[in-house]
Amino acid sequence: MSDMVGPAAGERVAVFLMALGGPDSLDNVEPYLLDLRGGRATPPELVDEIRERYRATGGRSPVLDITRHLAAKLEARRPVKAFVGLRHWHPFIAEAWADVIGYGPDRVVGICLAPQYSAMTVGKYVEKLADARTEVGGGELPLSTVGSWATHPGLVAALAERIDEALRRFPEGDQADVPVLFTAHSLPERIVRDADPYPEEVRATVEAVSALLPAGQPTAFAFQSQGRSPEPWLGPEVEPTLDSLAADGVPGVVIAPVGFLSDHVETLYDIDIDFRARADKLGLRLERMAMLNASDALADTLAALVDEQLSG
């Protein structure tokens, strides 16, 4: 844990945690997708497919509960009041911002729970927050937001520890030969033409975490969870990467989704069900690192980010 800085004496500080969110029931999968797709209707067959993915992973998104637990841990570490706003489901960012106004803070620190910056991800959260400050009020409240924390030492150390734990699930004699397959959520390729920093941000996280792994540990990288739009998405993809690793005869693979912080459908279904089924057919043992979720390590990292914002 970092040395505490915290608010100045008598200063009321609100920390605004922003996450993507997800449906809180199977009935709300379709309205969630409507918001996610910017108001465009989702084809019924795709709604059914996504609903079945949520059914297979507990019937609802765990993101809100995890983030609220994380907020409580942050409040236990610093004299702040933490609020949770979601980009695509309740409590929406604007709804949570109304609660911030009601609290009456002297200043607000905004943190997106997406460490690698992209205008399409973190940038959209910040835009939603700016809209809320205009439409709901509270635009006069001093606000600072964390941009990128892709290589924050606390984050990097926590990810490396989770990967090490996953590697230790393999027989000791095999561990040095098990590749770590880092993943992050894919985005449309057009972000490269727009000089978006996301690919470099992800690469920086991977390199920083890799530096903490045992010397010589094999690694690979792939983007996952590509969208259904016809435009090209960032690659390489996970599926052919698993095929290649299996062809190389490795004893297994650890998937490390370092582009995500919490469990959600992209880890619980895409990795734990879809990718694992593919690996099983290939005769490849697949283990996934545990997500940081509401861990002490992530709470400590958020506390350090708050300290940096308050001291800066």
Cα–Cα distance, 258 to 127 (Å, whole number): 24
| Structural domains of the chain sorted by starting position, each given as residue range(s) with its CATH number in brackets | 13-149+294-311 (3.40.50.1400), 153-288 (3.40.50.1400)
Tokens of 43: 């084809």
List, in sequence order, every residue forming a beta bridge with 146; answer none if it has no partner.
111
Q: Are 180 and 254 in contact (CB under 8 A)?
A: yes
pTM confidence score: 0.95
In a 10 Å sphere around its CB, with 0-12 CB exposed, 13-18 middle and 19+ buried, how is residue 274 labelled? middle
User: In the numeric block, which tokens belong to residue 101?
Assistant: 């106004």
**CA dist 4 to 75, 242, 282, Å?**
13, 43, 49
Cα 36 from Cα 23, distance rounded (Å): 11
For residues 221 and 236, give the distance between their C-alpha atoms in angstroms, rounded to a whole number: 8
* Residues 294 and 213: beta-carbon distance below 8 Å: no
What are the structure tokens assigned to 198, written together?
Answer: 């996301």
Q: DSSP assignment of 43-95, as one string?
A: PHHHHHHHHHHHHHTTSS--HHHHHHHHHHHHHHHSS-EEEEEESSSSSBHHH
Residue 162 CA to residue 257 CA, distance in Å, equals 11
Please, where are the H alpha helices in the chain?
29-36, 44-56, 63-77, 93-103, 122-135, 153-167, 190-193, 198-210, 238-247, 265-268, 276-282, 296-311
- Please work out, in degrees rounded to the nearest 5, the angle formed at the alpha carbon of residue 4 by the alpha carbons of 156 and 6: 110
Per-residue pLDDT of the chain (312 residues; tens, 9 = 90+): 445 666 777 799 999 999 999 999 999 999 999 999 999 999 999 999 999 999 999 999 999 999 999 999 999 999 999 999 999 999 999 999 999 999 999 999 999 999 999 999 999 999 999 999 999 999 999 999 999 999 999 999 999 999 999 999 999 999 999 999 999 999 999 999 999 999 999 999 999 999 999 999 999 999 999 988 889 999 999 999 999 999 999 999 999 999 999 999 999 999 999 999 999 999 999 999 999 999 999 999 999 999 999 997
Q: Is the dihedral of CA 39, 185, 277, 281 positive or negative?
A: positive
Do the Cβ atoms of 198 and 116 come closer than 8 Å? yes
Q: Are strands 286-288 and 253-256 parallel, antiparallel or unpaired?
A: parallel
3 state SS of 41? coil
Token match 């709300």: residue?
Answer: 28
Spatial CA neighbour of 153 closest among 305, 310, 311? 305
